[in-house]
Amino acid sequence: MADRPRQGLVLASLAAVAALPLLAACTDNSSSADPAGQPDPRRLTVKATDTACTLSATTAPSGRLTFSVTNGGSTVTEFYLLQQDGKTIVGEMENIGPGLSRDLVVTAATGSYVTACKPGMVGDGIRAAFTVTASDAEPTNADQELIAQATEEYEDYVRAQTDHLVAATREFTAAYKSGRHAQARHLYPRARVYWERIEPVAESFGDIDPKLDLREADLEAGQAWTGWHRIEKDLWPARAHGYQQLSAAGRATYADDLTSTTKVLYDKAQKLTITSDQISNGARELMDEVATGKVTGEEEYWSRTDLWDFQANVDGARAGFEALRPVLTQRDPELEAAIAGRFDALQKLLDGHRVGDGFQTYDALSKEQVKTLSDAVNALSEPLSKLTAAVV
């Protein structure tokens, strides 16, 4: 999703292109203290409040970093580690409620970064410079071959999804531009599944995510509204009282913009380089997306096609898990079994809401059904949150 109040895969987001500073490979930094009893410089605390974002240190040696974020404020917050440009996401932890603590685990190479806390999950957040210094840390894991296979498999998955997304978006926008609204409404959720499966990747590419997926409710003053949800409103205007549907010229403007920005995403994905922590954090972030947008019915406000997005997020999270599953099976078979079992349980519930090749609309669900889905999402999110620490 784009930067929005309802946000919760990030994934610490998947990093972008090879030209950007790459996240390091898995490194054995598991000890919380050095032999002299000093605190591990790669374990940092973050105290987030409504007005401050205080880190225990503003530098750390390269390798596996753990940011333990505690929200001492009055609103839900997020924490980000960004590249020096302040846009590209290296890692993120969303939906940290007041009084709660959550850990963000990433691997970071030498370079300059930016940290940010976002009270209320809006705006640019409270930002500060952060530096990762050179160290002699080297990958020491015995299963580096499995990790290499996992990253290659997931990179192929992302590229395949963007390829399908480009084709499906072109078909959708062609129907929309020509005024074939019934066909466009049919194609809308079916095209978006390719986006929703890999959304955390898009979040790592700067402003592509808000250009494609910003909701009207999350617009900031003066911000242009483009993308899927701008067209969604035009196709399903019933809930927009007094809304005047776009002219043919207006439809063409937004359709062409959606198509061209999707092609930019495709081009960037072809150069994608991913690390194991980005895959695992991405799986977690996708389930956060489900918990905070899809299962609540907030994502597809106009069309009520949230369950299509829900399924796509689960698909993307499971793809990340399956890529890393051989590594996890070696390191923590009990966690592997727990995650797999809860994916299966959630999928069984989702299958119960299928209609033809799609799903019921969100407004057809009862409160009890929504709660059952929500409970299953939470049950999966708990073991999935431990995946990064197990495979990095």
In what helix (H) or strand (E) does residue 185 lie, and over which residues does it extend? helix 181-197
- Confidence band for 4, pLDDT divided at 50, 70 and 90: very low
The torsion of the CA quartet 54, 134, 145, 265, rounded to 10 degrees, works out to 60
Q: Using CB atoms within 10 Å of the CB of residue 389, give its burial: 0 to 12 exposed, 13 to 18 middle, 19+ buried.
A: middle
* Percentage of residues of the chain with pLDDT beyond 90: 75
Do the domains spanning 43-133 and 141-392 agree at the CATH topology level? Answer: no
What tokens were used for 86?
């302040």
Residue spans per domain, the chain:
43-133, 141-392
* Those residues with Cβ within 8 angstroms of residue 186's Cβ, 6 or more apart along the chain or in another chain: none
Instruction: Return the CATH fold of 43-133.
Output: Immunoglobulin-like (2.60.40)
* Those residues with Cβ within 8 angstroms of residue 75's Cβ, 6 or more apart along the chain or in another chain: 50, 98, 119, 120
Does the 141-392 domain belong in CATH 1.20.1420.20? yes
Q: Per-residue pLDDT tens for 191-228?
A: 999 999 999 988 888 789 999 999 999 998 889 999 99
In what helix (H) or strand (E) does residue 92 lie, and over which residues does it extend? strand 89-96
CB 2 within 8 A of CB 219: no
Q: Per-residue pLDDT tens for 80-105?
A: 999 999 988 888 898 899 999 999 99
pLDDT at 25 over 80: no
Q: What is the pLDDT of residue 242?
A: 87
